[in-house]
Amino acid sequence: DATAELSVALLLSVCRRLPEAAQQVKSGGWTTWKPLWMCGYGLSDSTVGIIGLGRIGQAVARRLKPFGVRKFLYTGSGPKPESAAEFGAEFVPLTRLAEESDFVVVTCALTPATQGMCNKDFFSRMKKTSVFVNTSRGAVVNQEDLYDALASGQIAAAGLDVTTPEPLPTDHPLLSLKNCVILPHIGSATYATRSTMAVLAANNLLAGLRGEPMPHELKL
């Protein structure tokens, strides 16, 4: 839930240019009203593509649906008709998701199949008005290709909560772009979620010391 909330917050921040707008207030850029100043893109009547319709992907779609999203597309290792039914989401190839989505949200796991999947070919298929958000793992994205797509206007904007490496060097080219918002991997950063994570770890440790099966073991 915490990561899904952060994904939506990041998407809204990027598509409505909130960090850029806030900076304009501080720097004196806010003057008289101008018709197209600080205009961005809205979710109403849009198509949202979700890469990885797992628990987080579903939670993101559940939160975006009330914004008036017209259509959900998703891709992954295979169709998930039961999960997709709640949103009327359509399972499509990655290429079609890139071509038709107004917003792309990446919530998949990092595997050999997904590493670098969001690359030059992917971004070249996206609309020039599309917004890209990644809250999964940094290595899913080819950051050099993303920089080129953003700098050239191939896509409108991007929001990242994950990068390669982490922390991202302060002189990284992506940080020089106004249309790219980067957060320091804070998807799970709520007090309640971090407390739950600590309790899970402690219960695993206690069970392991007692020689019992760990209640929240990660099967590798």
Query: Which active-site residues does the annotation give?
Result: 185
Distance between CA atoms of residues 58 and 84, nearest Å: 8
Asked if residue 72 lies in contact with residue 50, where contact means CB atoms within 8 angstroms, the answer is: yes
Distance between CA atoms of residues 181 and 218, nearest Å: 32
Q: Counting Cβ atoms within 10 Å, is residue 162 exposed (0-12), middle (13-18) or buried (19+)?
A: buried
Asked if residue 127 lies in contact with residue 155, where contact means CB atoms within 8 angstroms, the answer is: yes
Distance between CA atoms of residues 86 and 98, nearest Å: 22
DSSP label at 212? Answer: P
